[in-house]
């Protein structure tokens, strides 16, 4: 688990909306892929200044420290947090709190304790995602935020899951959180050096490519949500796609959560959607003019001896092709296979992006 420059800029984006303060918890110890000077330059892009009182501390991992990369504690304390802790299922990386997010018996000393929780690629490795999300809710103070930077498409066997944006959106709407940022990003396996393309997300903006319409790039999700006085952590959401369809059919009696549950989730979804920038459709490419039609020049009629040789050798294709190759090489002309001998080109699968306009390149 780690925070590359692309992920850091998504976190800085949220810090520019409301400065970080109080206690920060990272889910898993985070490696940081940049120096303190890099962090200062990135923070300046978002109009942020690092706390000059914080003395930079290098990563506890020697491989990262050799490159001058800072620790995750330095990262978040430089951005205004009073302290920064990590939580893991064991202490093998030195986490201050040891707790398995699969469990549902969160220790009381962790309840309502943190102002910011960072999930920078952790809960896809947790089997019981509902318990993990409920534990995040319980650990946050009212007014506290969670930031997810999680994998989506093309992360096969990286973890237990590859998430769709609708999972986080629908969960936090059903549980009455305020969503302050929702984006999808496209990046490469060189995530620590190559830029990330970032796209704004709204429910429904990816419906046109949701079934086999995406390209083969790596995608991830960034979503930030704030816990309110009405928030819960154990309401099971309905997927937005079916929720809207069932409500249009007037079938609210089908919901096991009661007739009010879907309306509450949908109202929260509409409220959060109205507070976020709408995704912009990608401008279609300019049509490429068709090349002018070139009429083929008729080939000259073969000479009598060539016709005779072709008639004699045609019944044996291998010999005919060999003789033809020799004949053309003697005449100084390249060998061109007969149409029947040409291997048909496999039609390439069309590649489609998100069909949205990138709003940033991190």
Q: pLDDT for 260-300, tens place per residue? A: 577 888 889 989 988 888 787 765 555 566 666 665 655 55
For the chain, strand residue ranges (E) read 2-3, 23-27, 31-32, 83-88, 97-98, 114-119, 140-151, 178-187, 197-200, 218-226, 360-361
Which residues face 219 on adjacent strands? 186
Mapped onto helix, strand or coil, the DSSP state of residue 283 is: coil
Distances (CA, A) of 124 to 121, 189, 314: 7, 17, 63
pLDDT value at residue 195: 92
Q: Are 88 and 30 in contact (CB under 8 A)?
A: no
% the chain with pLDDT above 90: 61
- Average pLDDT score over residue span 20-45: 96
Pairing of strands 218-226, 178-187: antiparallel
Q: pTM of this prediction?
A: 0.78
The angle subtended at Cα 272 by Cα 15 and Cα 265, nearest 5°, is 130
Within the chain, residue ranges assigned H as helices are 5-17, 36-45, 62-65, 72-78, 129-139, 165-174, 240-248, 260-275, 304-313, 317-330
Residue labelled with tokens 């979503």: 223
Q: Are 162 and 152 in contact (CB under 8 A)?
A: yes
Helix/strand number for the chain, H first, E second: 10, 11
Q: Are 72 and 32 in contact (CB under 8 A)?
A: yes
Cβ atoms within 10 Å, residue 335: 11
- Distance (Å, whole) CA 132 – CA 138: 10
HSE-up of 24 (CA within 13 Å, CB side)?
Answer: 26
Q: Are 173 and 269 in contact (CB under 8 A)?
A: yes
Output the six-digit token pair for 120: 């920078």
- Average pLDDT score over residue span 336-347: 42
HSE-up of 9 (CA within 13 Å, CB side)?
Answer: 20
> Could you give the domains of the chain?
2-282+355-361 (3.40.50.150), 306-334 (no CATH)
pLDDT tens profile 192-246: 889 999 999 999 999 888 888 899 899 999 999 999 999 999 999 989 888 888 7
pLDDT value at residue 340: 43
């Amino acid at each position: 688990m780690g925070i590359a420059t692309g992920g850091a800029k998504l976190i800085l984006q949220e810090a520019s909306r409301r400065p970080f303060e109080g206690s920060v918890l990272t889910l898993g110890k985070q490696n940081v892929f940049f120096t303190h000077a890099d962090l200062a330059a990135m923070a300046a892009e978002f109009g942020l200044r690092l706390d000059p009182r914080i003395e930079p501390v290098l990563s506890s991992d020697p491989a990262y420290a050799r490159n001058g990369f800072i620790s995750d504690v330095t990262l978040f304390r430089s951005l205004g947090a009073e302290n920064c802790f990590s939580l893991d299922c064991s202490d093998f990386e030195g986490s201050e709190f040891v707790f398995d997010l699969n469990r549902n018996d969160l220790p009381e000393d962790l309840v309502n304790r943190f102002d910011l929780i960072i999930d920078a690629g952790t809960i896809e490795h947790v089997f019981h995602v509902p318990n993990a999300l409920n534990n995040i809710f319980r650990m946050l103070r009212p007014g506290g935020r969670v930031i997810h930077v999680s994998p989506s498409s093309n992360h096969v066997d990286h973890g237990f899951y590859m998430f769709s944006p609708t999972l986080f959106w629908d969960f936090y709407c059903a549980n009455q959180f305020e969503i302050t940022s929702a984006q999808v990003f496209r990046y490469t396996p060189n995530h620590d050096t190559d830029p990330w393309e970032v796209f704004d997300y709204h429910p429904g903006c990816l419906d046109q490519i949701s079934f086999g319409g995406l390209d083969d790039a790596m995608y991830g999700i960034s979503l930030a949500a704030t816990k309110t006085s009405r928030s819960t952590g154990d309401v099971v959401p309905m997927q937005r796609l079916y929720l809207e369809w069932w409500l249009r059919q007037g079938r609210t009696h089908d919901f096991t959560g009661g007739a009010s549950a879907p309306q509450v989730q949908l109202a929260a979804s509409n409220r959060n959607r109205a507070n976020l920038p709408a995704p912009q459709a990608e401008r279609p490419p300019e049509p490429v003019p068709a090349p002018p039609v070139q009429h083929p020049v008729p080939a000259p009629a073969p000479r009598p001896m060539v016709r005779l040789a072709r008639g004699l050798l045609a019944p044996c294709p291998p010999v005919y092709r060999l003789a033809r190759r020799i004949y053309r090489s003697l005449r100084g002309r390249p060998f061109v296979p007969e149409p029947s001998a040409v291997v048909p080109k496999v039609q390439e699968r069309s590649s489609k992006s998100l069909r949205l306009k990138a709003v940033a390149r991190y």
